[in-house]
Amino acid sequence: MEHTNDIPDAPDLSSIHVPVMLERTLELLAPALERPDAVLVDATLGMGGHALAVLDRFPGLELVGIDRDQDALGIAAARLARFADRIHLVHAVYDDIETVLDGLGLRDVAGILFDLGVSSLQLDRTERGFSYSKDAPLDMRMDASTPVTAEQILAEYSESELRRIFTKYGEEKLAGRYAKHIVAAREQNRLVTSAQLVALLDSATPAAVRRAGHPAKRVFQALRIEVNRELAVLERAIPSAIDRLSVGGRIVVLSYQSLEDRIVKHALAEGATSTAPRGLPVELPEHRPVLKLLVRGAERATDEDISTNPRSAPVRLRAAERIRRAA
């Protein structure tokens, strides 16, 4: 974990797309962020799109921006430069949220935002290897300083381990078939590019299945999740975030696939449920829920959101407010 002000070669900042469900996110966070001395943690800062809008909208707000991607942090630093006296940008993974806040001397915060999944920067930079539609090295690391790449996983995991991650993280019905073909192919040549992997998956996919969608999509998702330990990180991060919310503080989470959303749904539902033993005639104060859910189920992007930013199509938004301090 480190603070950063480095700015890599950045894309044209004026051309960066509008963040996903921006207005709805601001609407949900507003009651918490309008307080004097409010602090918002943007736990997945990315290129700073949500952060820029929040800092513009709430002139008294202090922002803590966390990201594991050094390139994204550098671009965000450039975009947010005029707010330098109100921001703290930290290189860390978002399950380190408590360590980050402790390091800044902050106990409770008014708001926390998670915009999960792979970022536009990671998708658009071909050399990062996240997209199955562009040939690139099989990297897929969100933090380039970490050691494990997708190429290494494909070369070293056993057939059963590959089948497990394709099933668990990609919900891929042909997981066993793909794992078997990968292990057979690597005995001849190591898989080092996305084009090699896509060609292998395509040849291993029955024609009828191929017509139902690109055969590489779920395998690439599974590899990315495994490389970055995304679900394990998320399972630790959401409870930690809830713990650091002040009473009246709000959390908003944007998920892009069902595995992420399931983790978020369960964590927020647990906080919004009484812990009183069944049959207890009176609910004691310490058993009352600590959260109030702010949306019914998961909200989806509107047609307008999707037309503005097509990558918002799969998003699921959940939000909650802290209503009491835990015992």
pLDDT tens for the chain, residues 1 to 327: 555 444 444 445 545 667 889 999 999 999 999 998 999 999 999 999 999 999 999 999 999 999 998 988 999 999 999 999 999 999 999 999 999 999 999 999 999 999 997 655 555 555 555 677 778 999 999 888 889 999 999 999 999 999 999 999 999 999 999 999 999 999 999 999 999 999 999 999 988 877 667 878 899 999 999 999 999 999 999 999 999 999 999 999 999 999 999 999 999 999 999 767 776 777 776 668 999 999 999 999 999 888 888 888 999 999 999 999 876
φ, ψ of residue 154 in degrees (nearest 5): -65, -30
What pLDDT is stored for residue 6 in this prediction? 43
What pLDDT is stored for residue 17 in this prediction? 61
Per DSSP bridges, beta strands 291-293 and 316-322 are antiparallel
C-alpha distances out from residue 275 to 210, 262, 286, Å: 47, 21, 8
User: Helix, strand, coil proportions of the chain in percent (round to 5)?
Assistant: 50, 15, 35
Has domain 127-228 been given CATH number 1.10.150.170? yes
Alpha-carbon gap, residue 45 to 152, rounded angstroms? 28
Burial grade of 220 (CB within 10 A; 0-12, 13-18, 19 or more) = buried
Asked if residues 142 and 120 have their Cβ atoms less than 8 Å apart, the reply is: no
Alpha-carbon gap, residue 188 to 45, rounded angstroms? 41
Buried b (16+ CB within 10 A) or exposed e, 224-242: bbbbbebeebbebbbebbb
Q: Virtual CA dihedral for 181, 187, 188, 192, nearest 10 degrees?
A: 80
Binding site for S-adenosyl-L-methionine: which residues?
48-50, 67, 94, 115, 122
pTM of this structure: 0.88
Helix (H) or strand (E) holding 89: strand 87-91
Domain boundaries, the chain: 2-121+230-322, 127-228
Binding site: which residues?
48-50, 67, 94, 115, 122
What pLDDT is stored for residue 26 in this prediction? 97
Token readout for 263 is 């983790």
2-121+230-322 against 127-228: fold identical: no
Asked if residues 112 and 251 have their Cβ atoms less than 8 Å apart, the reply is: yes
> Architecture of domain 2-121+230-322 in CATH?
3-Layer(aba) Sandwich (3.40)
Alpha-carbon gap, residue 295 to 300, rounded angstroms? 11
Q: For residue 162, give the 3-state DSSP assignment.
A: helix
Residue type (1 letter), 92: A
Alpha-carbon gap, residue 100 to 63, rounded angstroms? 12
Alpha-carbon gap, residue 166 to 41, rounded angstroms? 32
What pLDDT is stored for residue 268 in this prediction? 98
C-alpha distances out from residue 166 to 140, 221, 226, 232, Å: 15, 8, 9, 16
Alpha-carbon gap, residue 130 to 221, rounded angstroms? 9
Asked if residues 232 and 165 have their Cβ atoms less than 8 Å apart, the reply is: no
Alpha-carbon gap, residue 232 to 9, rounded angstroms? 31
Q: How many CB atoms lie within 10 A of CB 149?
A: 19
Q: For residue 303, give the 3-state DSSP assignment.
A: helix
